[in-house]
Every structure is written in structure tokens, then in C-alpha cells.
Amino acid sequence: GAVVSQHPSWVICKSGTSVKIECRSLDFQATTMFWYRQFPKQSLMLMATSNEGSKATYEQGVEKDKFLINHASLTLSTLTVTSAHPEDSSFYICSATAGTDNSPLHFGNGTRLTVT
């Protein structure tokens, strides 16, 4: 079946540094990718929608300059957390879809970010 690979699975960084998270669709062309944030024991919150070749659409309250999203190809989207702070520590998950009617949504395994 379709697989979405998310890398790294976990990362620890110092406050003030930037971290890049990759989301790759391994066996299908993902016209649309989504980025979510999940706090402990809570649900997923959509951060942004990323369409290949265009700017990401951010949800209300999500800082565009802090969470940079790039979707340069049909198989890769990246989320860069810039100038990370401890409050950015969270579980980040991506999902991808081919975008046709009823096309399924496939999730990556998530990235655990810890900012010290």
C-alpha cells in the first residue's frame, strides 16, 4: 500500500535553532500534503495545507514565518520550525493524498520535536 515516510522520527534541538522535517510519499504522487501538530493526549490540529508548486495555506493562528512549508515536488514536502522555542516542542505529523476524488489520505509516522 501507499506509504508516507516522515523524517526524522525524533529530534532534540536547542532553543533558537531551526529544524527541518521531511515528508515523502514513496509510491504515489502527492498533490496535497497536510501538516498537523499534536499535543500530548490531544487530537491533531491542522497547521497548513501544502499543494505542490504553490504556497502553503496556513490555518488561523499558525505563524507562517515560524513554520515554513515547502512542497517543491510531488513526493516531498518539508516543514521547517525556525528559531525554535520550548513551547514548539510537540509531535508533528504529515499526511499526503493524490488529490483525486475519494483518494485516501496517508499519514506519516510523525516527528517528536523537543526544544531544550
Partner 1 sequence: AQSVTQLDSQVPVFEEAPVELRCNYSSSVSVYLFWYVQYPNQGLQLLLKYLSGSTLVKGINGFEAEFNKSQTSFHLRKPSVHISDTAEYFCAVSDREPNAGKSTFGDGTTLTVKP
Question: Looking only at residues 51 through 70 of this chain, which bind partner 1 when binding is defined by CB under 8 A?
Answer: none
Q: Which of 13, 46, 75, 82 binds partner 1 (CB under 8 A)?
A: 46
Cβ distance to partner 1 smaller for residue 83 or 105? 105
What is the closest distance, in whole angstroms, from the C-beta atom of residue 62 to partner 1 in the complex?
Answer: 14
CA nearest neighbour of 36 among 75, 79, 2: 79
Interior angle at CA 36, CA 34 and CA 40, nearest 5: 160
DSSP β-bridge partners for residue 24: 5, 76
Of 32 and 82, CB closest to partner 1: 32
